[in-house]
Structures are given as C-alpha cells and as structure tokens.
Amino acid sequence: MELHTPSGNVGQTIVLRRLPTVVGQTIVLRRLPTVGPIGSRPGVRRRLRGFTFVELMVVITIIVILISMAIPIYSRSISRAKESVLKNNLFTLRTVIDNYTYDKQKAPQSLQDLVTDGYLREIPMDPITGSNQTWKIVMEDATQSVSQSEPGIFDVLSGSDKMGLNGTPYSDPSW
C-alpha cells in the first residue's frame, strides 16, 4: 500500500507494511515506513552515482588517441628547432671564418683560433650532437688558399650522421 506523506515531502512515497502485533486481547497493526522516490518499487536497488567501466574506457581511449596524435607533432617541432639552431650556428661559424680570413690574410687552423683571437666568445654547440667538439672541419685546398703555405679551415659541417627532416644528412654542406 502506498501513501503520500502530508508533511510536504515532495517526491517521496512511504510504503507501509502491516505487521500484526497482539496487545492484550486486541490485534494492533503496526506500520513500518520505507522511503524512496515516487514510482520506486520496494526491494529494487537504486543505481549508485558514478561512471561505468565502459564510459571510463571510452574516455581513456579518446585520451590515448589524442596523445598518440600529439607526440609526433611535438617531436617534429623539436627537430625543427634543432635544425634552426644548426643553420644559425653554421651561418655564424662560416661568417666568422670568412671575417678571420679577410682580416688575417690566412684561414684559421682550428675553431679555437676564432675564440683566442676574439672572433667568438666560445665555439657554438652542434645542437644535433649536443657538443661543441663534434664539428667536422673542411680544410681548404692548398692551391686555392689565401696563404698557400698554411691552408686553414674552409668550411664547417655538423658532426652528426643523422638525416634531417628534409631528407639530407646533417653533415651535408647544403646546411
């Protein structure tokens, strides 16, 4: 038997169960209230709040897909930044070698000569190898050198054996 409460409990239903009790010679019916939402059936469990396993798996799958799309883009941007630094460092080294050659009328014998004579504060780092000691030095031909008695550095290349994003090796003179 269902009765709506007159106390103003909106949306609440009290389900009454009658239990017989004997008091003296009379039988008294006692009522036990069970409170639940309107339309609920007694004995049926209400669903607990939260997410189901399937909902959690769908969300995790979407997150994994987004991360798997972002990682290659991130690594490519890191490679582009390193290539940009490499181009900048090679341009600086080549310009400084040319300035040294014009000023001294001979090419430098090592990259350290550029530092000791004040053309560079320090030898720039090769961003691909992560060291300033791995630069490949191209010596000029003795017949074409400014000072034919002492051929010096003509060009500098990266010491890496890796390939760039454009498909050319980092040690290629086109960088």
**25 compared with 46, residue with greater pLDDT:** 25
Q: Please tell me the pTM assigned to this model.
A: 0.63
Tokens of 110: 């090592």
Q: Look at residue 167 and give its three-state secondary structure.
A: coil
pLDDT given for residue 29 in this prediction:
61
Widest CA span of the chain, in angstroms? 135
Check pLDDT > 90 for residue 73.
Answer: yes
Residue 159: partners with Cβ closer than 8 Å, 6 or more residues away? 126, 128, 129, 131, 134, 135, 136, 171
Segment (H or E) for 32: strand 26-37
Tokens of 132: 């300033």
Question: Could you report the per-residue pLDDT of 129-153, keeping only the tens digit for each?
Answer: 999 999 999 988 766 666 667 788 9
